[in-house]
Structure 1
Amino acid sequence: MSTLLYSVTMSLDGFIAGPGGDMAWLTEHLAPNPLVEELISEVGALLVGNRTFRGSDPYEGMEGEGEAFGGGWSGPQFVVTHNPPAKSPPGHTFVSDFDEAVALAKEAAGGSYVNVLGADIARQCVEAGVLDEILVSLAPVMLGDGVRLFERRGGAPVRLERLAQSEMPHPTTVRLRVVR
């Protein structure tokens, strides 16, 4: 059975994107990270939120622009949206139903990780009880505003268990399991 993993880089003040979903802030923090690289090699499919799919690219103007993880991964991507584009990019499937998108991504992953990209789709995964793990890299910056890691007003606490943690010289990265 495939594991749903939300992977993300976050500012010290809890934002994963700047105002308007801007990802340009992340560019200077893109560096080799063994914990992240190991996990990327185990990803079988992506489950992507619409805002993330249509958002800015931290690899803009660089090699790997427009590709998942800057070209470090390729495979099937399932985008949850009620407004699919007229023409689908290769490897992308647009799905309007959240449960269907999760099922399709898990099937495509074939027992490997389904990597969740996007704060809102990650929130939906938590609320549906299908998120299994979280991998957070902490960037040494405070953005002050933007898209929060998790936005769950009135939500119940979610218990997490630390599975792994990286240390310097790489950005601090923590891998957590959702405790059910």
Structure 2
Amino acid sequence: MAKVLYSCTMSLDGFIAGPGGDMSWLTEHLGPNPTVEGFMARIGALLVGNRSFRGDDPHRGTPKEGKPFGGGWSGPQFVLTHNPPDTPVPGTTFVGDLNSGLAQAKAAAGDGYVNVIGASVAAQCLAADELDELLVLVAPVLLGDGVRLFDQPGGTRVRLERLGLTHTPHSTDLWLRVVR
């Protein structure tokens, strides 16, 4: 049965994107990473937020733009949106609600991971008690502003259990399980 995993790279001060969703900061922190390479082989499907799908891309302006993990992964993608494009996108299914998107992504993933891309989708999965794990790559940079890893006005406590901790020249990688 598929597990739902939120993976992202985060600045040390807790931002996964800069102001306005800018992902250009991430480019210098991409590089060989055995943790990422290992988990990409276990991804069965992606569940992607509309904003992430439509342009928050650290590979903007390069041949890798628009490709999951810069072309390092291919497979079925399910994009949450109320405004699907007029033209079909090969390998991509547009869904209007979280439950439908999760069900379709889990079916497509089989025994692999449904990898969530996008802070809002991850928060929705967490609120629906559907998020199983997080893989957070902490980059050695402070952004000061932007899109937070997890932002809950008024606060909420989510218990996590560390499953793994690795270091690379580009990041410190935390693999965590959501404690239910």
For Structure 1 versus Structure 2, the TM-score category normalised by the shorter chain is over 0.9
Bigger mean CA offset, 10-19 vs 60-69: 60-69
Instruction: Give 2:136's aligned residue.
Output: 136
The within-5 A match list for 1:7-156 is 7-156=7-156
Preserved contact between residue 160 and residue 177 of structure 1 (Cα < 8 Å): yes
How far apart are residue 63 of structure 1 and its match? 4.1
Percent identity over paired residues: 64
Measure the CA separation in 2 of the matches of 1:43 and 1:88. 23
Number of residue equivalences: 180
Cα deviations across residues 97-118 of structure 1 (Å, max 9, x unaligned)? 1100000000000110000000
Bigger mean CA offset, 150-159 vs 10-19: 150-159
**Counterpart amino acid of residue 122 in structure 1:** A
Preserved contact between residue 22 and residue 55 of structure 1 (Cα < 8 Å): no
**Counterpart amino acid of residue 81 in structure 1:** T
Q: Which ranges in structure 2 are unaligned for 5 or more consecutive residues?
A: none
How far apart are residue 155 of structure 1 and its match? 4.4
Q: Over the residues paired in the alignment, what is the CA RMSD in angstroms? A: 1.1
**TM-score under structure 1 length normalisation:** 0.96
Residues 94 and 168 of structure 1: CA distance in aligned 2, closer, same or farther (over 3 Å) = closer
How far apart are residue 144 of structure 1 and its match? 1.1
**Counterpart amino acid of residue 126 in structure 1:** L
Measure the CA separation in 2 of the matches of 1:133 and 1:12. 20
Instruction: Give 2:159's aligned residue.
Output: 159
**TM-score under structure 2 length normalisation:** 0.96
SS of match in other structure, 1:70: helix
Cα deviations across residues 18-40 of structure 1 (Å, max 9, x unaligned)? 11111111011101111111001
Q: Which ranges in structure 1 are unaligned for 5 or more consecutive residues?
A: none
